[in-house]
Amino acid sequence: MMDWTDRHCRKFHREITRHTWLYTEMVTTGALVYGDVERHLRFNEEEHPVALQLGGSDPADLAIAARLGQQYGYDEINLNCGCPSERVQKGAFGACLMAEPQLVADCVKAMRDVVDIDVTVKHRIGIDKVDEYGFVRDFVGTIAAAGCTTFIVHARNAILKGLSPKENREIPPLRYETAYELKREFPHLEIIINGGIKTSDEIALHLQHVDGVMLGREAYHNPYAMAEYDARFYGDDAAVKTREQVLEAMIPYIQAQLDAFGSKGLKLNSITRHMLGLMQGLPGARMFRQIMSDPKRLAAADPRLLLEAAHAMQRRAA
């Protein structure tokens, strides 16, 4: 979810669901050890519970990054061992780390030694043509021995050569049963399943076999689907915000961001681009997206554009 789930996106998602855990885009250890820590780690207090996802393979650097994450107030540190992009592979982390379970275990231990919050691992079920269950079982077992108790399992292989990151999210077949088997073999671990899941009914079916479900692309492209999660999965019967109420809640936030960072070049589109899917599936949704993406309107830097787009959509649908 690099370039997608930034702090503005997460603030928007939090207006839709109060309890669902939110995850940052992957932040590399180099960006924190040598770069602008504030830019990469600042987030809105309303985002809690929120996890920091790290990319790296050096235990010492990951320890530094994890400590910074805890200092900034994140609720969890997640190590990405699932990203298959060549750029990530060149940094010797992401999915290629599945071939080095002991190194991942060392990384987990180094982070756990310096933080009090949970350290979790996100991974695939295999790499390239290695699809035997024993491969991912041994990977999880080795890392669990280092103290990791939560594993987020993207139930596809990662093809490290020959497929793009987009193709890696679609072409390798989903094998949910592998994640279910991990839960049966490691009942004391928290196993969270990921990959190709879209509806609340699908989530409920998976929860009969595992402890949790993670959504990525569907949550981004159809975010209002999360509006029912609080009641259905967290037992919170508080009133659900309408789509228009979500937009209204975002307006003061957007204005504050423009006021604070406008001189540094923050554009309205930096926030509104994450909101284009809010009307997904409704009559007039295309008009909503067109108005929200109109260059002239965006250049005016007026957050009331959100309601203008919603009202225009409603008139079209009437």
Q: How far is CA 226 from CA 75, 152, 200, 204, 222, in A?
A: 20, 19, 8, 13, 8
Q: 241: part of which helix (H) or strand (E)?
A: none
pLDDT score at 318? 64
Whether the bond between 173 and the residue before it is cis, its omega within 30 degrees of 0, is: no
- Please name the residue that has the structure tokens 């393979």: 57
Enumerate residue ranges in the chain where pLDDT < 50. none
Q: Catalytic: 83?
A: yes
pLDDT score at 42? 95
pLDDT score at 108? 98
pLDDT score at 85? 66
pLDDT score at 288? 96
- Name residues whose C-beta falls within 8 Å of residue 105's C-beta, 6 or more positions apart in sequence: 142, 143, 145, 146, 148
239: amino acid identity, one letter: A
Q: Report d(CA 256, CA 2) in Å as an integer.
A: 24
62: amino acid identity, one letter: L
| 8 A C-beta contact, residue 204 and residue 234 | no
> Which of 9, 83, 107, 148 is flagged as catalytic?
83
Structural domains of the chain ordered from first start: 7-234 (3.20.20.70), 243-317 (1.20.120)
Q: Report d(CA 227, CA 14) in Å as an integer.
A: 10
What are 198-244's pLDDT values in tens digits?
999 999 999 999 999 999 999 999 999 999 999 999 999 999 999 99
Q: Report d(CA 120, CA 70) in Å as an integer.
A: 14
Give the number of other Cβ atoms within 10 Å of residue 203's Cβ: 19
